[in-house]
Amino acid sequence: MKPNPSLPSADFYDHQPIRDQFPTLKQTIGDHPLCYLDTAATSQKPQAVIDAMTEYYQLNNANVHRAAHQLSTRATQQYEAVRQQVAHFIHAKHQQEIIFTHGTTESINMVAYGLTAQVQPNDLILIDTAAHHANIVPWQELAKRTGAIIKPIPLTADAQLDINAYEQLLQAKPTLVALCHVSNALGTVNPIIDLIAMAKNAGALTLVDGAQAVAHLEIDVQQMDCDFYVFSGHKMYGPTGVGILYGRFEQLNTLTPMLTGGEMIKTVSFDRTEYGELPNRLEAGTPAIAEVIGLGAAITFLQGLPREQIKAHEQLLMRYLQQQLLNLGDITLYGVSNDNSQSNIGSVAFNVANEHHQDVGILLDQQAVAIRCGHHCAMPLMSQLKLSGCCRASIGIYTNKHDIDQFIHALNTVKELLL
């Protein structure tokens, strides 16, 4: 991808009314307005999400499923309504296929633990080299328990998944393929439907980490035809501490529960315990009730927006951000194809000349620009790129052209100071 000084900067979607709903973005730090470009780490929360959680604690604070009084009834109704809402949001076939967890990491761990009895010594597990650690370490632990073998799916020189290498690995008939929908470090979008179809033809189960995709793309798990899809609330304008494990019903039903006790049981005696039906059997203990309700508010918020206009706005912002970085000079972008700059969403990974990424991040913070610096919980990917780490600027539905311009101005100041 080469600099293009003539790239137009007009025609951005006027979404100030949306931005105004995010109270965190209204603050200044020092003499500068906050420029938040770390949405890939966690998104800011609209007032509707904050209000929904506050209302639960103020008016409906009770445990779910466990009492006859009105507070518990209202809390249960709100909680279960979100399950149906999530199923509709990602086009699941049954609401019982939606399991509430504490986040993407727990969701993947639940699947990896739950499959232990089904995995045999020397079974092959394929993992995307660009995967987040949360989609690597649980499979390594599964391999330790079972004697399975882990193999990474290689990347091409421009950090795209290597389809030819993937096809060759699939000839070994893997038991499971773990993919990321969108790279958290680079924003690279995988051709997930094709990758899943290829894995299914090889007889493999598939799990997709959708944490970075769910806030930017329309998710249809039935069209995708994956066995498991996981994501977190806090990446999609909802609260922290809540996530989703979607699983095809027949696959979820075979998982050994990772946590036991509480609401997940049907009968208990000192002789034996019988687990309940889905989704209860995979939701032990008191859930994150307020967070689930907050997630429902976030979905309602997203569904009330002009998604196609916002998607076009984000694509234009990404293109503008990439080009402005390149026009600045002494900037290296990672994971952006020369012939397809639209292969990335949400995030741009870069470094400034030979300067340490942490130094760049600290100096930007002094100008109220928030980005992420480090290995982004993707150390195998950084190793492939021969990097100790990099900077990452990531956008959300509230990001506007002024944010990008403020960031570029601040980065130019950093350049002048360091180079």
Q: What is the signed CA dihedral for 8, 13, 14, 16, rounded to 10 degrees?
A: -110
Which residue has 């086009």 as its token pair? 91
Secondary structure letter of residue 38 according to DSSP? B
Full DSSP string of 118-170: G--TT-EEEEETT--GGGTHHHHHHHHHH--EEEEEPB-TTS-B-HHHHHHHH
Residue 10: Cβ-neighbour burial (10 angstroms; 0-12, 13-18, 19+): exposed
**Which residue in the list 226, 377, 390, 391 is annotated as catalytic?**
377
Residue (of 40, 79, 58, 64) closest to 295 by Cα position: 79
The secondary structure of 206-251 as a DSSP string is EEEE-TTTTTTS---HHHHT-SEEEEEGGGTTS-SS-EEEEE-HHH
Decide if 35 is catalytic: no
Q: Specify whether the CB–CB gap between 310 and 15 falls below 8 A.
A: yes
Give the span between the Cα atoms of 52 and 24, in whole angstroms. 17
- Residues forming the active site: 377
